[in-house]
A = this chain, B = another copy of it.
């Protein structure tokens, strides 16, 4: 990397995935608005056409005069080509198609098991992990061979298991996972503090929080804004608005059609005294199955949405249509900051700044002091030149640990199940998932798990076919 005038102009970044378009465009847009960085983006996707389209869209964007960050987009034809010699690797893949996801999310409904997202925890998260982990094994091996010194940024779900796989295969990997759910919760706090204290233009990034937990089931045990402790403010707001909840006026495209009144978050605060730091649709999936996701009526009373896969299919079609228009030049990418911190982290790792942000990495340094070292956790860390140093986040309170623990155990079981094609371990994890446990018998469990695995066999190692 060449530094001059506080700027780097020859960065090489491999972007793996992006076929589903959304994240790729966000990333491109943020890059185009960052003056301190420039270089080459190598696009690699198993859907070569998607990569080709992104190449056109990226170069078109970069050519616009208002784009202060200049990048050259190139399609790579193999992981080897994409990775060799890069400084950063971004992973944002969709494991399987929405047809597989249809089964993940909706098949368990036959036993009354509802899922609001189905990509992280629950039966759906498990199956998605089974098909994602082998892909991440392949990526980790390629990084080890072709780009062992590169920083690897993962955006793919299930986040925790993706990161865990990378470190399992290549323990020296410099990988971390980024997720915007914490930012979303900071925005909720921003809205509440503005409303409660009559403030204006509170900057989300100035809401300082201590983050601890696992991805999509993350918690704040402190939060402040310019010397104001936000816990009493939050509590007071909940006291006054528990029934209606809090809905953001201004939401970004990621969440626009995903209903969330933060009532689950409020209820968790009343029960446990911490601020849960993810969208309600995610949070609900980590809790026992007979609480927020008991049945559609219960979900409705908690005012959050069950995102159907039909919706996702329609939404994808919209993005594909938009892609066609962007490729043809009929439409232009809107240059608006995404609010994501990915580019900021890249700058910090290049040494241009020092940044505190939340991150998903193994708990090797016991940043969460009462979780095992092997767990992948989400906490704050300090990013600086070629370095991520976790900030000690402290202990998760016992009651919350009780909620988090079965998921951490499941990550261990699921990783091994996926690596070894071990049905017994997968079943153990399946029955141990809080959405499932106690709600179906072992016989029902075997039947459901086997059906779900069968529906995704196309994306699994062959050995699974013999096991189900």
Closest chain B residue, CB of each to CB of A7: B227
* A85 on the B face (CB < 8 A): no
- B369 x A372 contact (CB < 8 A): no
Q: Quote the shortest CB–CB distance from A208 to chain B (angstroms).
A: 5
- A385 x B442 contact (CB < 8 A): no
* A365 on the B face (CB < 8 A): yes
Encode contact with B along A284-298: 1 for CB under 8 Å, 0 otherwise: 000011110010000
Is chain A's binding surface mostly helix, strand, loop or mixed?
A: mixed
* A57 on the B face (CB < 8 A): no
Q: Quote the shortest CB–CB distance from A52 to chain B (angstroms).
A: 33
Q: A6-B226, A350-B227, A437-B437 are in contact. Are A389 and B394 (CB under 8 A)?
A: yes
- A393 x B399 contact (CB < 8 A): no
- A3 x B226 contact (CB < 8 A): yes
- Contacting residues, chain B, for A229 (C-beta < 8 A): 351, 385-386
Closest chain B residue, CB of each to CB of A352: B227
The CA of A366 and the CA of B364, in the complex, are separated in Å by 11
- B369 x A365 contact (CB < 8 A): yes
Closest chain B residue, CB of each to CB of A6: B226
Q: A290-B441, A440-B290 are in contact. Are A390 and B387 (CB under 8 A)?
A: no
The CA of A6 and the CA of B226, in the complex, are separated in Å by 7
Of B1, B392, B402, the residue contacting A409 (CB under 8 A) is B402
Pick from A131-139, A234-242, A304-312, A426-434 the stretch touching chain B: A426-434
* A72 on the B face (CB < 8 A): no
Encode contact with B along A378-414: 1 for CB under 8 Å, 0 otherwise: 0010101111011111100011011001100110110
* A367 on the B face (CB < 8 A): yes
* A228 on the B face (CB < 8 A): yes
Q: A352-B226, A399-B413, A406-B406 are in contact. Are A438 and B441 (CB under 8 A)?
A: no
* A322 on the B face (CB < 8 A): no
Per assembly, the copies of the chain total 4
Q: How large is the interface on A (under 10, 10 to 19, 20 to 34, 35 or more residues)?
A: 35 or more
* A102 on the B face (CB < 8 A): no
- Contacting residues, chain B, for A436 (C-beta < 8 A): 438
Encode contact with B along A336-369: 1 for CB under 8 Å, 0 otherwise: 0000000000000011101010000000011101
* A462 on the B face (CB < 8 A): no
The CA of A369 and the CA of B364, in the complex, are separated in Å by 10
* A224 on the B face (CB < 8 A): yes
* A425 on the B face (CB < 8 A): yes
Q: In residues 427-457 of chain A, which contact B (Cβ within 8 Å)?
A: 428-429, 431-432, 434, 436-442
The CA of A406 and the CA of B404, in the complex, are separated in Å by 11
Q: In residues 1-35 of chain A, which contact B (Cβ within 8 Å)?
A: 1, 3, 6, 8
- Contacting residues, chain B, for A387 (C-beta < 8 A): 210, 222
* A77 on the B face (CB < 8 A): no
* A416 on the B face (CB < 8 A): yes
Closest chain B residue, CB of each to CB of A437: B438
* A47 on the B face (CB < 8 A): no
- A382 x B380 contact (CB < 8 A): yes
- Contacting residues, chain B, for A425 (C-beta < 8 A): 398-399
Encode contact with B along A215-228: 1 for CB under 8 Å, 0 otherwise: 00000001011111
- B288 x A431 contact (CB < 8 A): yes
Residue with the highest number of chain B CB atoms closer than 10 Å, among A6, A226, A424, A429: A226
Task: Give 5 new A-B contacts, CB below 8 A, not counting A3-B227, A271-B424, A391-B392.
Answer: A208-B354, A208-B385, A222-B387, A224-B386, A438-B439
